[in-house]
Structure 1
Amino acid sequence: MGRYEKQRSFLKSNFTEFKNIKTDKMKGMPKPDEGKAYDSCSELINLPKVGSEILRKENIYECINSRRSTRFYSKESISIEELSYLLWATQGITGINKAGLTLRTVPCSGATHSFETYLFITNVEGIQKGVYRYLPAEHKLLFMFEIEGIDDKIDEITLDQPFVPNFAKKAAVIFAWSTTPYRSEWKFDITAHKKILIDIGHVCQNLYLASESIDAGACAIGIYDQTMIDGLLGLDGDEEFVIYLAAVGKKKEE
């Protein structure tokens, strides 16, 4: 029983302990950037404006009731309009409050927004296969690089899936969310890490429901090769690392 105690403690509210901590924010340390910088020469792709016309299911009850983890995908591609919608639904900026903090389509503790969205695109209309990063402030895609045999690389990264082996490489796109923990640690110190895990759950659930609303299917992936995917994306594995994956594709008719 003892080996579970530390992890169970992590799951509990530790606000009393937090009240006795002087955070970096309180110390006057500079606030970390909310978004990751990129080279001005980077290749950017404009994403279509998001509107309700993209929806195939407008009834939220129906979306919640129909939501399942989808591991079987058709060969039908996802449109760039649909991808734009999915990105907006998971990290899109919908406003800025009086404190200058961005308001997004998902809740986030203290509006710290520690996540970056990377995409392994294999079957999206008008977009070449490769690895991309979403820029929420601009609502654009930043092209990072191509991967020869991207399907096989996705297979390597997602390891042995227990229910449907090798399903991830058949998806139209893989969402890979990284976290930069200090964006939250600056404000919440040692209580940040529970908040980060809660927040990424909000993000992935939005992906599930948004996918369902366009008759696509999503499947969260918690089994992946941490070192491989961090290295592939150029992340140091400490200050920034992948925390969650999800596959999305058009559903295969049964």
Structure 2
Amino acid sequence: MGRYEQQRNFLKSNFLEFKHVKTDKIKGLPQPAIVKPYASSSEIIDLPEPSEEVVSKSNIYDCIKERRSTRFYSAESLQLEELSYLLWATQGITSTTKTGLTLRTVPCSGATHTFETYLFIMRVEGIRQGIYRYLPVEHKLLFVSELDEMDRKIDAITLEQPFVPHFTKKAAVLFAWSTIPYRSEWKYDISAHKKILIDIGHVSQNLYLASESIDAGACAIGIYDQNLIDEVLGLDGEEEFVLFLGAVGKKRE
């Protein structure tokens, strides 16, 4: 049991220990920005307003019942309206409190929302291939960069998938959620990291259910090359790093 002990203890609640910690929030240090800044010269793509019109399966019972991890995709592209809906479903802002906290379509510990959503877009109508970042406040896409040999690099990033090798590069979009841990550490200190892992589970499940509702398939991916994907996305690997991936594409008949 010895080699599991540290990780098992991480899964447990440490609230009593946390009660005696003076967090950066209590110390009066400024709250970190809720989203990463970007240059005013950046290329910004408008997204359609999220709409239930893209939903073909509106019965939530059916979506929960029929949801599966989908690793076989057709060559069909996602519509931009569908991508807009998936982004809204996973990180969309539904309201803002008087204190500036963003309330979103997914629950999050203390509304700290440590995640940034990056997209490897392969097949979305009207959008060229490349890497993008979602801007939840504006509900827009920020173009990050083109990516030469995208298929090969996605293969390298997602390593040896045990069930269906090389499936990730055949998706229409690969979601990559990074975390900026200090957004939660500022408020929760040593308790932040368990909360971050819980929160990403909410995001991933919303991707699954929203994908099912538009007759698309999703598959969460926890096997990936950490250093390579952080490097490709230009992340420092310490203050921001990728935490989880999710592939989405239209289901193959």
TM-score with structure 2 setting the length: 0.99
Which moves more between the two structures, 34-43 or 143-152? Answer: 143-152
Mapping of 1:1-254 within 5 angstroms? 1-253=1-253
Which moves more between the two structures, 146-155 or 207-216? Answer: 146-155
Instruction: Measure the CA separation in 1 of the matches of 2:28 and 2:150.
Output: 44
In the TM superposition, what is the alpha-carbon distance from 1:51 to its structure 2 partner? 1.4
Which moves more between the two structures, 148-157 or 189-198? Answer: 148-157
In the TM superposition, what is the alpha-carbon distance from 1:82 to its structure 2 partner? 0.1
For 1:154, what is the secondary structure of its paired residue?
A: helix
Instruction: Measure the CA separation in 1 of the matches of 2:84 and 2:61.
Output: 23
Aligned residue type for 1:42: S
For 1:107, what is the secondary structure of its paired residue?
A: coil
Instruction: Measure the CA separation in 1 of the matches of 2:192 and 2:147.
Output: 34
Can you list the C-alpha shifts for 1:38-92, whole angstroms capped at 9, x where unaligned? 0000000000001111100000000000000000000010000000000000000
For 2:39, what is the secondary structure of its paired residue?
A: coil
**Percent identity, aligned pairs only?**
74
For 1:128, what is the secondary structure of its paired residue?
A: coil
Can you list the C-alpha shifts for 1:111-162, whole angstroms capped at 9, x where unaligned? 0010000000000000000000000000000001111111111111000000
Instruction: Measure the CA separation in 2 of the matches of 1:147 and 1:103.
Output: 33
Instruction: Measure the CA separation in 2 of the matches of 1:155 and 1:82.
Output: 25
Instruction: Measure the CA separation in 1 of the matches of 2:245 and 2:100.
Output: 29
Can you list the C-alpha shifts for 1:17-42, whole angstroms capped at 9, x where unaligned? 11010000001111100100000000
Instruction: Measure the CA separation in 2 of the matches of 1:98 and 1:127.
Output: 36
Instruction: Measure the CA separation in 2 of the matches of 1:3 and 1:29.
Output: 37
Instruction: Measure the CA separation in 1 of the matches of 2:54 and 2:44.
Output: 23
For 2:230, what is the secondary structure of its paired residue?
A: helix
For 1:132, what is the secondary structure of its paired residue?
A: strand
* Structure 1 segments unaligned to the other structure (5+ residues): none
TM-score with structure 1 setting the length: 0.99
For 2:69, what is the secondary structure of its paired residue?
A: coil
In the TM superposition, what is the alpha-carbon distance from 1:99 to its structure 2 partner? 2.2
Instruction: Measure the CA separation in 1 of the matches of 2:191 and 2:207.
Output: 26
- Superposed structure 1 runs of 4+ greater than 4 Å apart: none
